[in-house]
Amino acid sequence: MRRVSWGMATLATAAALLGAVPAPTPAPVPESGDPWVAPRILGGTGVPDGGRVPDGARAPDENRASAVGGKDRKPPAKAPTLAFLAEQGGLWRTAVPHDAGGHLRTVPGAVAAPHEAERVVTVRVEVETGLGVDGREFARQVMDTLNDPRGWGHDGSVVFARTDGEADVDLTLASPATTDELCAPVDTGGTVSCGRVGYAVLNAVRWAQGAEPFLEAGGTVAEYRHYLVNHEVGHVIGYGHVGCPAPGEPAPVMVQQTLGLGGCLPNGWPAG
C-alpha cells in the first residue's frame, strides 16, 4: 500500500470538495493470512516480520529522513523480535483455542547443525496457523533447546539440524484438538503431548502455560518448555518413560513431569 502524507491527503480532499479532482480512497490495510507476518500493532509504524512488506507496499527506508517540526530525523530502529514474543515461546497470546482449525504450516528455512556429532538428526518444525504464533521464533527456541550443551547431544552422540523438507523428526506445535488427532491412537486427552517414531507433537496449551505439577514443584514455564521439547524428542530418538529415582533429586527428563514428579525436582535437561 502506498503511503499518502496527511498534507497531500488534505489538499486532495479540499480539491475534491471544490470539484477539481476526486479525493483518493485510502486502501484498506491488508490482513495477511501468512502466519509469519506479525500482526499490525495499533499506533505502530514499523513493518512486520523484520522488514517484510505486503505486496504493493513500500518498506520504510531508515536512511530516508522525515521532516518533523522543521527538523530532519531518522525513525527509531525496530527490534527484530518483540521481547514478549520470546517470553511467550513465539506465541502472540497465551490463551490457546481448543481447536485452531487443524491447518499446519512448515516454518521455512534451514539451520545447519552447529557442530559435529556421531549422528545428525534433521528436524522439520511445523505450527498450526490458527494459534497465532511467530513460527521463526518458535523454531529458534526449539532448536536452541535441542542443541543446548545440556541436551541429548551432551555426550557427542547426536546433533540436530533444521530443515523445511523431509526430516527425521516432524516437530509440531498444535492446539489440543489437533494434538489429539495427530497423536492417535495415543490418548492425549486434549491435555498432554506425544512423541512417536518420526514425529513429536507439542500441545500448545502446555507450551503456553506449562503444567501445574511442574510449576507447583518450583519450575517455570520457560523451564517447562525445555522439558517438553527434550521429553517428546527423547521418545522419537528412542527413550522411554522412567520414574523418579529419589525424592529431592532432579527428575530425569523422561519422567512424565506434566503429570507429576514423584518427589523429584523439576528438570528439563537430559544432562541437567
Across the chain, which has 272 residues, the per-10-residue mean pLDDT values are: 37 41 42 37 34 40 40 55 87 94 97 96 97 96 98 97 98 98 96 96 98 98 98 97 97 98 98 84
Q: Count CA atoms within 13 Å of residue 243 on its CB side.
A: 4
Left, alpha or beta for 198 (phi > 0: left; psi -120 to 50: alpha)?
left
Residue 212 lies in a domain: yes
Residue 69 lies in a domain: no
Query: What's the confidence (pLDDT) of residue 76?
Result: 56
Residue 158 lies in a domain: yes
CATH code where residue 213 lies: 3.40.390
For residue 102, the enclosing domain spans 98-236
Query: What's the confidence (pLDDT) of residue 172?
Result: 98
Query: What's the confidence (pLDDT) of residue 75?
Result: 58
Residue 253 lies in a domain: no
pTM of the model: 0.72
Residue 241 lies in a domain: no
Query: What's the confidence (pLDDT) of residue 230?
Result: 98
Residue 248 lies in a domain: no
Domains identified in the chain, total number: 1
Residue 145 lies in a domain: yes
Query: What's the confidence (pLDDT) of residue 272?
Result: 72
Residue 109 lies in a domain: yes
SS3 sequence, the chain? Answer: CCCCCHHHHHHHHHHHHCCCCCCCCCCCCCCCCCCCCCCCCCCCCCCHHHHCCCCCCCCCCCCCCEEECCEEECCCCCCCCCHHHHHCCCECCCCCCCCCCCCEEECCCCECCCCCCCEEEEEEEEEEHHHCECHHHHHHHHHHHHCCCCCCCCCCCEEEEECCCCCCEEEEEECHHHHHHHHCCCCCCCCCCEEECCEEEEEHHHHHHCCHHHHHCCCCHHHHHHHHHHHHHHHHCCCCCCCCCCCCCECCCCCCCCCCCCCCECCCCCCC
Query: What's the confidence (pLDDT) of residue 245?
Result: 97
